[in-house]
Structure formats: structure tokens, C-alpha cells
Structure 1
Amino acid sequence: MHKDDDFDPEAPLAAAIVDDRSLDMDAFLTAIVRRQQALGLRLRGFLMKRPPRENGCAATMVLVDVNDASEYLVSQPLGSGSRGCRADPAAFARASQVLREALEQAPDLIVSNRFGDLELRRGGFSAELLAAMEHGIPLLTTVAQRNAEAWQQFSGAGRLLPPDEAAVSAWLAAAIALSRASS
């Protein structure tokens, strides 16, 4: 992982906060997004919301559009004993329209709640994440520690950030400045 003091402004405009399970990553990313919006930045993408568990079943996964708070249910009810992946590929495909529209809007930052198992298999939001990188739009996501190497391969050596507000803020400021300078 890179520290603030060795930040390379020429590094790719894509970064993933490594989820080392030291904090609630969904809450952490939400707080970062809200602070950036309060600063007046134009953000597009998704945050994850997990409503309370029902009937002993695994938590429901709902993506929330950071622009207009629209919600997209992206999990399948598999039952309380299920160990399989709850992610619903068809629901992710429907939600991906938000990210495709974001590419046309050229926001300051695109946020994706997670680079996860679907993206590892080139599903989920993988096409939209690659398109954001191709368009030179700064991209911020999170990644489980076990998938950090796969993120770097996918993103072309995208930045890995610690779950630290100062490190994420420093990357955001540099990435947005670099993006604006090249526009």
C-alpha cells in the first residue's frame, strides 16, 4: 500500500480502499462521499446500504445512487441456510445504467461501492469501471484484502489506499486535480 508521502500524481486515476475489516467500510465510504459532496464536487455512482436482517436470512444488499438517492435491490433471497453468493447479476446489470450515464456527465469522481466477486469474473460493474478509467474520470471503490492483487491487475496497477481518511482525501485531491488538468 502507498502512504500519503509517496503519492505519485501520475499514478492511475483509479483507487480502491482496502477493506482490512478494521471498520465498517460501507459507512466509511459513505462518510467520504458526503464530505466530498459538501465540498461541491460532482459525484456519481453507488454506496451500499444493508437494511436489517429479516427472518434470519443474510442481509439484503441495496445500492444507493449518490446523486439522487435512488435505490437498487441487488441481492437475491437465498434463505437462511444459504452460503452462496447473494448478488443478483441481473439487478447489477439494471443498476449499471447509472454508471453508464455518469460517463456522459463527466463528474469529478465516480464511486463504486466495491470491486468484488462479480467484477473478478468480469461481471457486475466491470465494464463501467473500465470505461471510467478509459475516460480519465477518477474512480474510487473498495476492495477486500483478499482481492487487492486482482484489483491492481484489473485496474492496471490502480492505487491501493488504506482505510484512512487522510490517505483517501489526499488521493482524491490529487486525482481530481490531475483529471481537471488533463481535460
Structure 2
Amino acid sequence: MGTTPTPRIAAIVHDHSGEPDGLLAAFAARQLAAGVRVRGLVHLPHEPTANGKRMALMDVTDPGSRYPISQALGPASCGCNLDPGGIADASVVLRRALQEPAELAIANRFGTLESEGGGMADELLALMMADIPVLTAVKLPYLQAWREFTGGLAAELPADADALERWWNACRSTPVAAA
């Protein structure tokens, strides 16, 4: 009997906004320092503004990069300020990960837009189809949509650095053809 290969798709499953952001950024930095061709996006800490919070993504290979993903809705607004246009602009980083190709792709999260088939859903699917390992984060309300999106083929990880390392080491030791 053989062992089941490690899924080359994984999500940090969490229930707190911002919980996986630093974890993903630190993981990407460690892998880049080790010489791994990591490409992707991480969420930067929220910047408070007079109209709520400003959100931005950063390309893991360019710490100076900023992709604003929030829009100003006005002081009386209580709706989501996520900017689909900003997400579309940032998605170029994941498309480059596919073209290069990357050894590992990191997507800041699978959330509202992706659960509805938008956002970076197309880029995530393309990376998965190219058999490039993908790591993202999924908040509990979107977990069922994530499971449907991946056909149940993704590993679900806790927000823990050791769990990420174990997943990545297992991915690297699994031949691509067997994945």
C-alpha cells in the first residue's frame, strides 16, 4: 500500500482577520532566503484612515510594491470597501508566477470575491492546473466555497509556522507526476 501524496494546494484555515497575514509573509521570506522561487502576494497590515481602513497587497519578491485593494466609500459607509479593480491589478503577480514558473505560489487569501468566482479565482485555478504548489488563507465563512473550488483536494492547515513547513517539505519530496 502506498501513501497518499501531499496535496499541492493548501490553505491556512482561520477565524480571525489578519491572523494568517504575517505568517504567510514570514513563510515567503524564509523560502525566498532559502533560494526557492516563491511568487505571490501577501496582505500588508491595515493602515487606518479617516474613512476606515486602507488595505494593500505586496508582491513577495518586491517588498516596496504596493497594490491598494480598498476604495474610499465615505465616512457614513458601513459596507465592504474591497476594490475589485485593485484585486485585478494585483493579480498580475500570480499570472507572472505561472509564466516563470514559480516553485511555490502564495495568494493572500481566498475570500469573498473568489468564493463567487471572481477576484483571483482564475489565477488560482491556472496555478493549480499547472501543478504549481499554491498556499493561501481561508477564513471559516469561506471554507465550504474553498472546498468546492478545490474539489476537496486541498490540505487545510492551522495558522502555525511548523504546519506550513511540514506541508512544504512534503510537497517538495513528492514527485510532481504523483501529485
Normalising to structure 1: TM-score of the pair?
A: 0.87
Larger deviation, residues 30-39 vs 135-144: 30-39
Alignment equivalent of 1:149, drawn from 144, 153, 158: 144
The CA deviation at 1:88 is 0.9
Partner Cα distance (2:29, 2:10) in 1: 18
What is the root-mean-square deviation in Å for CA atoms of aligned residues?
2.1
Gaps of 5+ in 1: 1-7
2:117 aligns to what?
Answer: 122
Q: 1:148 to 1:41 in 2, by over 3 A?
A: same
The CA deviation at 1:22 is 9.2
The CA deviation at 1:159 is 1.0
Q: How many residues align?
A: 175
Q: 1:177 to 1:25 in 2, by over 3 A?
A: same
Q: Does 1:71 align with 2:66?
A: yes
- Give the fraction of aligned pairs with identical amino acids, expressed as a percent: 41
1:3 aligns to what?
Answer: none
SS of corresponding position for 1:172: helix
1:37-73 Cα offsets, whole Å, 9 max, x none, are 2221111010111343111x22111110011232111
- Whether the 8 Å contact between 1:9 and 1:178 is mirrored in structure 2 is no
2:169 aligns to what?
Answer: 173
Residue 155 of structure 2 aligns with an amino acid whose one-letter code is R
Gaps of 5+ in 2: none
Partner Cα distance (1:23, 1:102) in 2: 24
Q: 1:50 to 1:137 in 2, by over 3 A?
A: same
Q: Does 1:47 align with 2:42?
A: yes
The CA deviation at 1:160 is 0.7
Higher helix share: 1
Q: 1:113 to 1:179 in 2, by over 3 A?
A: farther
